[in-house]
Structure 1
Amino acid sequence: MSTLKELITSGSYGTDKDTSHSYIETYDSLFSEYKDKKINLLEIGNHHGGSLSLWNDYFSDANIIGIELDERSGLRQFDDIENVTIYENTDAISFDTIRKIEDLGIKFDIIIDDGSHLPNHQVFSCKFWSQLLKDDGVFVIEDVQDIQFCEPIMNSLPVVFNDIKTIDLRSNKDRYDDIMIVAKKSGGDN
């Protein structure tokens, strides 16, 4: 059974989650319980798709949806992968996009916002994208631009989130934005 750290070390995924940033160990801890379960994962901000490839290799039975604003991101490598759907040239900070994803009729076990990294966009994600998370699901905001933004971003999450924390990894690689917010939604019937 490969960990995310083992996968990323042995492969060339082209994601910054363990190069520029220090997120892989946190993700290993957060996602291990989902590894062999049937899950739905949404990632906002896919750049060239490195993390989508990583998630696809790691999770044994995942339905993966990516939303990417840049129409030139080169995400065509996923066109023939049945369990990965990309919404390219799509603004995640749009109610039309949220409705489009809601219309799919699925809830997500994991939602990751690695989009614009603007605090107001991260607040939008917390308020609106988090509503598409299943009970007991995990919601992650990556690359918080300043530690002082964490509290207002976390306060924008609905009250159904019972375990919300800031993970400050700035000292690992001396990056100002190596900060994550991780929230777990309170359990209940899915």
Structure 2
Amino acid sequence: MTRTGPGPAGAPAAAPAGDAPTGAAAGPGWPAIEPLLRAAADEHWLARAVADLGLDRVAEVVVEELAVRCDPVPVDGAAHLAFELTSGGERACRLLTVDRDGLTSKRDGWQAAPVRITHDAVDLLRGLYGPGTDRRTSRRVTTCAELNALGPAPGGLTAIVRERQRLAVAVQAVVAACQRHPVDLGGLSTRFGSDKWADLHWYTQHYERHFARFRNAPVRVLEIGIGGYDAPDQGGASLRMWQRYFPAGLVLGLDIVPKPGVRGPRIATAVGDQGDPGLLDDLGRRFGPFDIVIDDGSHLNAHVRASFTALFPHVRPGGLYVVEDLQTAYWPGYGGTVGPVAGPGTSVGLLKQLVDGLHHREWVPPAAAPGPSYADRHAVALTIYHNLAFVEKGVNSEEGAPDFIDRGWSAPPA
């Protein structure tokens, strides 16, 4: 549960929206990574994108991505590796440090590293961001120092062998990060500190079922609610989880509090109140259309309804709009209804309205002008779990029952 608007506990009023989301790169959106993602399905265009962006900037993008994908290694101390990208006659190098906290990088010091991993830039980017069915053998070259190049060292040969083992584990972690492999969303949730699994909720099993078809696609994901309350560098656990789960996805987070400290190579953040329809519409126009929108914001029922109305038009056909924490439809402090039936103005009331709209061609009498709403015409499926709902976007164009079937009603005489 994440606050993104004025809540029942006296949360502050909405901050003004910024001109652009803040992310790992300067400027609106994801200026460095986006052209690489768009070109990743075709080697020719990917090579053009690398040339346009410059190999040094591409190297920055790649090592930021590897930091997201590299799992911590179960060894004491740190291993240092040289990582080299090549393209034509150019090369760009970075020093990678791998330890129990994961992977970090810097520009200097790579010359002295005992191991060097070299990748063709286009080949590596194709593997990182290209079609999920692409399983070609990488053109990686790994060069390791000889044993005597590591000595002399305190502890003699035993210390050298341990260092070699530490390097081997680190090399494997980096090589694995360069390849695409399945990850468990529940495990990612607990690793990054999201409450979507084994904490307040048990959502990830349902997310995996509904998001499977998007897994390797270049999706755009918007999540309302970043977390961390007023702290500018706190929160973002779910954004990091989605960044790792969708290897070619772009992730945008919206919160009422500025979050400049929540960063990632494919993460950007925006500031604003989820109850402001104009702001949400502008957000959708600038950074959509979205394949997935997740409302994990204030969970005030009025906000849930306002956000859906404003953002559902900015979901792609075939995309999903997700509403979390439906329990607040029964909590008065959030605008919910006391008792076993949620009122029409609640989030559950919204879902009931969507079910009715899905069947608008069966209404008796037929809908009066101006006819069915946008949601009635474009919500094509609803799946509801405990406190969690998925709404699928499409074209609700199926005809109703034929006219000759008696509906038990006739129009009043003119």
State the TM-score, normalizing by the size of structure 2.
0.39
Which residue of structure 2 lines up, in the alignment, with residue 64 of structure 1?
251
Tell me: CA distance 1:126–1:15, structure 2 relative to 1, closer, same or farther (3 Å).
same
Residue of 147, 158, 164 corresponding to 2:382 = 164
| Helix, strand or coil at the partner of 2:390 | strand
- Give the length in aligned residue pairs: 171
Judging by fraction of residues, say which structure has more strand: 1
Q: CA RMSD in A?
A: 2.1
| Uncovered stretches (5+) of structure 1, i.e. residues with no partner | 169-178
- Tell whether the 8 Å contact from 1:150 to 1:166 is kept in structure 2 after alignment: no
Which residue of structure 2 lines up, in the alignment, with residue 152 of structure 1?
349
* CA distance in structure 2 between the partners assigned to 1:61 and 1:135 by the alignment: 19
**Higher RCO, 1 or 2 (CA under 8 Å, sep at least 6)?**
1
Deviation sequence 1:131-167 (CA, Å, 0-9, x none): 1100000110001113724541212681111111321
- Tell whether the 8 Å contact from 1:119 to 1:153 is kept in structure 2 after alignment: no
Which residue of structure 1 lines up, in the alignment, with residue 309 of structure 2?
127
User: Counterpart amino acid of 1:15?
Assistant: S
Alignment of 1:1-190 (within 5 A): 1-9=182-190, 11=191, 13-18=192-197, 19-47=199-227, 48-71=235-258, 76-78=261-263, 81-88=264-271, 90-104=272-286, 106-144=288-326, 145=328, 146=330, 148=342, 149-154=346-351, 155=353, 158-159=375-376, 160-168=378-386, 179-186=387-394
Query: Bigger radius of gyration, 1 or 2?
Result: 2
User: Counterpart amino acid of 1:21?
Assistant: H
* CA distance in structure 2 between the partners assigned to 1:185 and 1:3 by the alignment: 26
- Tell whether the 8 Å contact from 1:150 to 1:181 is kept in structure 2 after alignment: no
* CA distance in structure 1 between the partners assigned to 2:303 and 2:201 by the alignment: 20
> Among the aligned pairs, what percent are the same residue?
23
State the TM-score, normalizing by the size of structure 1.
0.82
| Helix, strand or coil at the partner of 2:286 | coil
- Tell whether the 8 Å contact from 1:161 to 1:185 is kept in structure 2 after alignment: yes
Deviation sequence 1:109-151 (CA, Å, 0-9, x none): 1000001101111111221111110000011000111372454
